Structure 1
Amino acid sequence: MERFLSSAINKVDKKGRVSIPAVFRPALKGGSTLYATLSVDQPAVEAGGPELLEVNEKRLAAMDSFSPEYEYFSLLVHGDMNIMNIDGEGRVILSDAIREHTGITNQVAFVGRGHFFQIWEPERFQAYREEARAKVAEMRRALSAGNGQGKDTGT
């Protein structure tokens, strides 16, 4: 399975279109549709090809279909889904809902996350990246202290 790796910042044109980074396109396997849903806990959008839908469908299949958790997850996965067509030049149009949720105006940060990627407003992504770096550094220090030798375990 191809993965979405790396990150890039691209400009939004006057028509609200943005180019998907070339490095992400192989993971879309030539597909002309992008599936995107608003992140629940970040001002970002989680996007990808059919594999993203499959992962979420597997999560739903593991849940009790009569539970409130299933209802909530299904609502967000299915009801909040933005289906975007990829044009011949690899561009998509960002919906008003996406722009409002992310704060995107004239630039987009694309961030690879393995089987999906995220779409961010670049400054918000930079702040989140700095927070993530600080958290990982803290986790590494805790792991190093816990291995009895005070050495970095390479995590």
Structure 2
Amino acid sequence: MSLDAKGRLSIPARHRDALLEQDAGGLTITRSPEGCLLLYPRIVWERQREKILQLPMSMQWWKRILVGNATDVEMDGSGRVLVSPELRRAVGLEREAILLGMGAYLELWDRATHDAQQAQVLGKEMPAEVINHLVF
């Protein structure tokens, strides 16, 4: 998947339909501490934002990163959203991207960053606490 020259992302149909059903296409995009962008249906973001704002003052910079960078966007008729240049620059998002469905939200990664971080994780043994909670 890629962003067009204007920084618009085409949301795949499987995600687009769910987003339209939840919140008529209204999304909030913000930074993640892990180096990607988070895309929330606006109604889900409002609940998440309230939780973030209740963090203690010792977490003030994380509040700034998560809430201060949040941008509301709307899907256009073709299912595209505009990702601001500031957010793209903040996570090094170039043209090639990966969009991951994570349940209540989506993660938007620069492909090279995602691939490097995934390779690093896959190069290690899965922690026992994860294995103990999974059924294969």
Same fold (TM over 0.5): yes
Counterpart in 1 of 2:35? 43
TM-score normalised to structure 1 length: 0.70
Give, in angstroms, the shift of residue 143 of structure 1: 5.6
Secondary structure at the counterpart of residue 51 of structure 1: helix
Segments of structure 2 that go 5 or more residues without pairing to the other structure are none
Give the 5 Å matches for 1:113-128: 113-128=102-117
Give, in angstroms, the shift of residue 90 of structure 1: 0.6
Aligned length: 132
Give, in angstroms, the shift of residue 96 of structure 1: 1.0
**Structure possessing the higher radius of gyration over alpha carbons:** 1
Does residue 130 in structure 1 map to residue 123 in structure 2? no
8 Å contact kept, 2:73–2:81: yes
Segments of structure 1 that go 5 or more residues without pairing to the other structure are 1-9, 145-152
TM-score normalised to structure 2 length: 0.78
8 Å contact kept, 2:27–2:72: yes
Cα distance between partner residues in 1 of 2:15 and 2:94: 22
8 Å contact kept, 2:97–2:109: yes
8 Å contact kept, 1:52–1:115: no
Give, in angstroms, the shift of residue 102 of structure 1: 2.3
The percentage of counterpart residues that share the same residue type is 23
